Structure 1
Amino acid sequence: MSSDFLSRLAVDLPIFQAPMAGVATPEMAAAVSNAGGLGGLGLGAMDATLAEDSIRQTGKATDRPFCANFFCHSSEVRDATRENDWIARAKPLFDSLKADPPQHLRRIYASFRDEDAMLNVVLRTRPRVVSFHFGLPRPDQMAALKQAGILTMASATSLAEARRIQAAGCDAVIAQGYQAGGHRGIFDPDGPDQRLTTMDLTRQLCAELTLPVVAAGGLMHGADIARALSWGAVAAQLGTAFVACPESLADAEYRERLGRGGTVMTSAISGRPARCLENRLTDWCRGATRIPAYPDAYDLSKRLIAAARAADAPGFGAFWAGTGAAQVRPMPAGKLVQMLAQEWRTA
């Protein structure tokens, strides 16, 4: 199944770079694809114009396949009282930074499901692969992607989600273990979460599904890729391993903080559970309740991070990272893919 799926993708190596919205760039995705892996673009935080520009930039830098990723979160009903209470909770922190808190929160991201602007971008630009996080597109959107010959993948944190992904007609499922950095792809953030490890989830999905499974979460070295393939995965998706690459958008503090490791899962930064490097922002998040819906809560965090940056106050970044963060190896993305491939073959 592994060789068949990689052949369909026209990818040489079972090494996928996680899309990582806000971190991955066209330069990174192209470098990974040019080295034989599958590069990824995280476009869920962009508007349609910027998303299209990113896809076209990547296409100019590589003639190899790459993946465009979008968010398919359900749009929750807003709770004005909860949002106002959240702003009030953050006011002392804004005051300490000599900044004003927002008067209200904005819904800063649209879901792929809620409008067709992003679908139209995909149909115009035709990336080889499109992947989804937090859920699935509408059936009519999936049908349009299939008719266009675009391969699709979606993240699952459980067998139940993976079965929905298979039933929707996706070409592969990404098994996102609890060690993964960034946002959990869980469909319902208020529902139960078994918090399965990447190994346990991958093995379970491989045993129960006919769909190819891509393992993701806590994978940093070629030996990790070899283990993922031994669990039955067709490929391994790595994100944190690429954050320290020069093609990344990570700032200097983010890069320095990676090497010390230490992560926590929190919903208080964005409104959805996400794994982040521990710092002053995650300290403030600890014990938080009545968190506003995603992505409204993230609007406040982004403004808080901007205020901290303006005040030259360190420790307030949303530094998404997996449990293997301390194992990062700063080097160009293409060289990292080559090293990972050599390590995998040796393992």
Structure 2
Amino acid sequence: MTAWPDRRIQELFGISLPIIQAPMAGVTTPQMVIAVSEAGGLGSLPCALLSLEQAREALDTLRQGTSRPINLNFFCHLPPQADAARESAWRARLAPYYVEQGLDPEAPVPASNRRPFDSAFCELVEEYRPQVVSFHFGLPEQALLDRVRAAGAKVISSATTVSEARWLEAHGCDAIIAMGWEAGGHRGSFLTDNMATQVGTFALVPQVADAVKIPVIAAGGIADARGIVAAFALGASAVQMGTAYLFCPEARVAPPHLQALKTAADDGTALTNVFTGRPARGIVNRLMRDLGLMSPLAPAFPLAGGALAPLRNPSAPAGPGDFIPLWSGQAARLGRELPAGQLTRLLASEALAKLSPGGADR
């Protein structure tokens, strides 16, 4: 075998390699997206933390840097309802850290906002016409989804269960990202909030592949050629990789975060809601240990992050990485410090070598 065993995603998206760089809000740069797309994979720009002006600026950079397919990623969460009592309790719980760092616990809380997909973002899609638009936490309302499709984009979204995958297929997705328990960052869950029953990637992928007719993209814990080959063996048509790209020079990763990634253990990550109010996987740090991984005090997503913002001041006398989210999947120790384009091509060539006759021993 000298070719990929399933080319549906490559044909659907118009890419040459079945490797998708995960959209990682806050750390993905346009330069990373360009490098991955130019290498033949699918570069993904996360937009949830960007204003319209910032998104437009990033898209202008992308279009100047590559004419190849790109993916724009958006969140689909409902804006939270204000809960003054819960937010007050959260601030009271964080007050000792403020005092420790010489900050005023009563100072106004900065806004913590992750913008869900809306008509203004949809106009941006219509203007720039990306080849792929991906969503997290389900899908937007039907009228917006129809506009995305009319702009010519293929639509994909994350599923953490078979039920979510079936729902996404029924609501018009062109492919499903089967997001396993191992994945770093925010869970894509939208039909369940029970984290105790979440499924691992290599149990989820074949069940989703059996349950839907559209192509499946495996995500979670895949960081080298062995994971790519395994994903294809289980029915995936492509892989989405995030943590592997955090080691690339194009990633905007804070020094404490990068150091934590370089020294991460296989059992060093956990799901937590303390940084944003929604379950996300990161390397365990002081805040997670002190508050508990899933704190009932954390305000609804994304409000929990506002009161933490002053504690993330790099000049504050906190330990490195104590109060910042160190997002990571469970396979960080497999990461390699390579430019994003080189990494994409290397992963593909190594996987193809293993897929060739006799390649399993390589």
Distance 1:123 1:184 in 2: 28
Does 2:114 correspond to 1:109?
yes
Q: How does 1:203-214 map to 2 (within 5 A)?
A: 203-214=206-217
Q: State the identity as a percent.
A: 38
Instruction: Classify 1:189/1:74 alpha carbon distance in 2 versus 1 (closer, same or farther; 3 Å).
Output: farther
Tell me which residue corresponds to 1:132: 135
Q: How does 1:242-281 map to 2 (within 5 A)?
A: 242-261=245-264, 262-281=268-287
Distance 1:189 1:47 in 2: 29
Deviations 1:287-326 (A, max 9, x none): 63232100000222333223x5443641222110000012
Give the ranges of 4+ consecutive aligned residues of structure 1 lying more than 4 Å apart after TM superposition: none
Tell me which residue corresponds to 2:340: 333
Tell me which residue corresponds to 1:163: 166
Does 2:73 correspond to 1:66?
no
Distance 1:286 1:181 in 2: 18
Q: Counterpart amino acid of 1:45?
A: L
* Secondary structure of the corresponding residue to residue 225 of structure 1: helix
Which has the larger displacement, 129-138 or 48-57? 48-57
Instruction: Classify 1:127/1:285 alpha carbon distance in 2 versus 1 (closer, same or farther; 3 Å).
Output: farther
Tell me which residue corresponds to 2:30: 26
Distance 2:39 2:77 in 1: 32
Instruction: Classify 1:143/1:244 alpha carbon distance in 2 versus 1 (closer, same or farther; 3 Å).
Output: same
Q: Is the 8 A contact 1:216 1:238 kept in 2?
A: yes
Segments of structure 1 that go 5 or more residues without pairing to the other structure are none
Segments of structure 2 that go 5 or more residues without pairing to the other structure are 355-362
Tell me which residue corresponds to 1:7: 11
Distance 1:181 1:309 in 2: 27
Distance 2:79 2:191 in 1: 11
Q: Counterpart amino acid of 1:144?
A: R
Distance 1:44 1:6 in 2: 26
Which of 295, 313, 324 aligns to 2:302? It is 295
Deviation at residue 106 of structure 1 after TM alignment: 3.3
Does 2:230 correspond to 1:223?
no
Distance 2:292 2:45 in 1: 31
Q: Is the 8 A contact 2:164 2:191 kept in 1?
A: no
* Secondary structure of the corresponding residue to residue 2 of structure 1: coil
Q: Is the 8 A contact 2:18 2:41 kept in 1?
A: yes
Deviation at residue 191 of structure 1 after TM alignment: 4.5
Deviation at residue 103 of structure 1 after TM alignment: 3.6
Does 2:116 correspond to 1:90?
no
Deviation at residue 98 of structure 1 after TM alignment: 1.2
Instruction: Classify 1:96/1:192 alpha carbon distance in 2 versus 1 (closer, same or farther; 3 Å).
Output: closer
Q: Counterpart amino acid of 2:334?
A: Q
Distance 1:31 1:16 in 2: 12
Deviation at residue 198 of structure 1 after TM alignment: 0.5
Deviations 1:69-115 (A, max 9, x none): 00101223221100110011000011111122454463512211xx3
Does 2:119 correspond to 1:119?
no
Distance 1:164 1:302 in 2: 36
Deviations 1:165-210 (A, max 9, x none): 1111111110110000000011156446521000111111100101
Distance 1:242 1:228 in 2: 18
TM-score between the two structures when normalised by the length of structure 1: 0.95
Does 2:289 correspond to 1:283?
yes
Deviations 1:211-237 (A, max 9, x none): 111000000001111110111111000
Deviations 1:16-68 (A, max 9, x none): 10010001111001100111111111111111111122122112111110111
Instruction: Classify 1:221/1:192 alpha carbon distance in 2 versus 1 (closer, same or farther; 3 Å).
Output: closer
Q: Counterpart amino acid of 2:113?
A: I
Q: Is the 8 A contact 1:55 1:127 kept in 2?
A: no
Q: Is the 8 A contact 1:83 1:105 kept in 2?
A: no
Instruction: Classify 1:144/1:292 alpha carbon distance in 2 versus 1 (closer, same or farther; 3 Å).
Output: same
